[in-house]
Structure 1
């Protein structure tokens, strides 16, 4: 690299990742003669499960990344140099960790194990009112020189850190955008939006096995239990959604107490494979829903319909408020099938398009008229599923 400043700017503009940014930054400083043994960057995020991502480079192990959950390590942070700096309203900190009277911060033991002699810490605030949870980043460096960093080395690091912080902020915002789209609209839909499929009415037609699931009796239970039911609803929705992901499907939408999911058919996955994946996901969802019910006094039955057909997958909605989802006759038919689960007293209903390629035995439930569909449809269930008879 011509110089470290230009390299950092290039990384920030090119959209590299934090692992490469931190590793390259450390290598650049060491090439200039700075004897680093450890570097650390903590980046906050807005994520339902992860509170902060930590990036730790050590001379012995390279760069390692860890996502810290909201529930874990709260006490560890409170006992860290960064928490001390925040409590004392400092943005800069420096300690000699090999001194007998060094502060008793737990991280100093990690530094000493790497052969470090000091701990240089800096806090950078982002101060973005539109993203208040992205408060800023914490950065630290440790050297192996007896007596610690030289004054000119500290000055060099401090001169570079604003650039490093800006590049890290840009990467954090991009990662946050990707994570939010993955979380709220789904992995496939999120990547399509990022690739530019953002115009209303723009999308594609695809063939997929569809899973339409809904809790029976939830509405009346919700009326009786109020807000206390949200935690339980999450448990049921997780029982439905996790098996979909495990079978390489995608949850397209949570609809109150129900789920719409798809298992796309492509050159890499045949119709038989997609339908088999949908069946396995349905079986597992029913089992896990029963496990949730065993933890509660009032059980909630899960009804699932599986169908296969062509759907439109794309942007639908108002000009300023779009939803990336699927629509089409196949979706409507799956919904109408699920509505018959209660009438037929059957937890799982398959259309002929799914039953004909089922890897496990099925049995007929007879022909039935679906609301809004002229011709009767023969419906099926798995032979192992108890309930209705034709």
Structure 2
């Protein structure tokens, strides 16, 4: 094997990202004397927002990666060389971008602007039945040589593409694993799972500010609402979850029409900072929930409880079905505080530990007994906006 084959294998075993793989591959081909002006790889993915990742290498810009959403430019793909190849069941095509084929596909104009003369396209199938959406990848290469690629250059590229495909497949599966863990488990928990924290009962005790949110009236609405109920619930949950992420917290669990989130207290983030972040997230969630309500005839109020304390953060569940979440008395207290929002006629209830760290004025709701807790707790809510500047 040559140095390039060895390098691709090394990337397949230890490489970290597709951009580096494509850049190194294209630059090494150019170093062998093939005058490339553009190299391209498109890889589908299993992602709730991204349909495919495109990687474009050029001599001037290196590799640029773009995630194409499910909604964007569906028609553009249908007019691409790869869609044509799939319709005609061809895995290999070669077009010159001047002459009779000049206007066949829009991408040919991009090739000409880069000084390219032809377009070599290949489709590779992964053929994994357990991941049908990872069908394979499309690759294309263009050269600046006036007469186009020489036969031996095409043979060289074709001989290397199976190795490149294996390396790309390994990286894609890893990226898919990370993306799925981030989406379904959460960023912090997902990284812990990848580091091997997967045994039932394993975990750690952490101190965190907790945010417990729930929609008031959703159960009643669900009994009468039509087929758009799930779409509406998604918008409400997004109104709750996005501010958590923006303030550096993590949604640990969606609970039907609500969620549980945590803002860990660490050496980098103090108790005061974590509690303030939780309060800002709660304020933003209430505002965004109202924006969702304005789009519907029946409004749904959002109730939020904020508490702070020690929780166990780790794996719980059955041997073959685990959940990475937080449990403990502080979580139970937050849940029971939220249940008081209706009777106390307020949207946000804070424990004394969170209220003491609030960056905005608060007012006392008096002392209340929480279900299952013997001692009464003094609870707080956010003061009216008019009191902030008083």
Secondary structure of 2:339's partner? helix
Map Cα deviations across residues 136-192 of structure 1 (whole Å, 9 max, x no partner): 100000000011000000000000000000100000000000000000000000000
Paired with 1:358 and 1:41, the residues of 2 have a C-alpha distance of 50
Gaps of 5+ in 2: none
Could you tell me which residue of structure 1 aligns to residue 19 of structure 2? 19
Secondary structure of 1:224's partner? coil
Could you tell me which residue of structure 1 aligns to residue 44 of structure 2? 44
Question: Is 2:360 the counterpart of 1:360?
Answer: yes
Where does 1:1-390 land on structure 2 (aligned, <5 Å)? 3-384=3-384
Contact 2:38 2:59 in 1 (8 A): yes
Gaps of 5+ in 1: none
Equivalent pairs counted in the alignment come to 386
Paired with 2:195 and 2:87, the residues of 1 have a C-alpha distance of 43
- Bigger shift: 169-178 or 356-365? 356-365
Paired with 2:236 and 2:99, the residues of 1 have a C-alpha distance of 55
Paired with 2:289 and 2:87, the residues of 1 have a C-alpha distance of 46
Paired with 1:226 and 1:317, the residues of 2 have a C-alpha distance of 34
Contact 1:311 1:331 in 2 (8 A): yes
Paired with 2:252 and 2:107, the residues of 1 have a C-alpha distance of 43
- TM-score by structure 1 length? 0.97
Paired with 2:184 and 2:71, the residues of 1 have a C-alpha distance of 21
Displacement of 1:250 in angstroms is: 0.5
Contact 2:95 2:101 in 1 (8 A): no
Relative to structure 1, is the Cα distance of residues 349 and 101 closer, same or farther in structure 2, using a 3 angstrom cutoff?
closer
Contact 1:252 1:325 in 2 (8 A): yes
Map Cα deviations across residues 263-307 of structure 1 (whole Å, 9 max, x no partner): 000000000000000000000100111111011000000000000
Displacement of 1:228 in angstroms is: 2.1
Paired with 1:337 and 1:363, the residues of 2 have a C-alpha distance of 16
Root-mean-square deviation (CA, aligned residues, Å) is 1.2
Contact 2:37 2:58 in 1 (8 A): yes
Contact 1:286 1:302 in 2 (8 A): yes
Contact 2:94 2:119 in 1 (8 A): yes
Map Cα deviations across residues 92-137 of structure 1 (whole Å, 9 max, x no partner): 0000002244352000000000000000000000111100000110
Map Cα deviations across residues 13-51 of structure 1 (whole Å, 9 max, x no partner): 003210110000011111110010000000000000000
- TM-score by structure 2 length? 0.97
Paired with 1:43 and 1:257, the residues of 2 have a C-alpha distance of 35
Paired with 2:287 and 2:26, the residues of 1 have a C-alpha distance of 50
Contact 2:15 2:21 in 1 (8 A): no
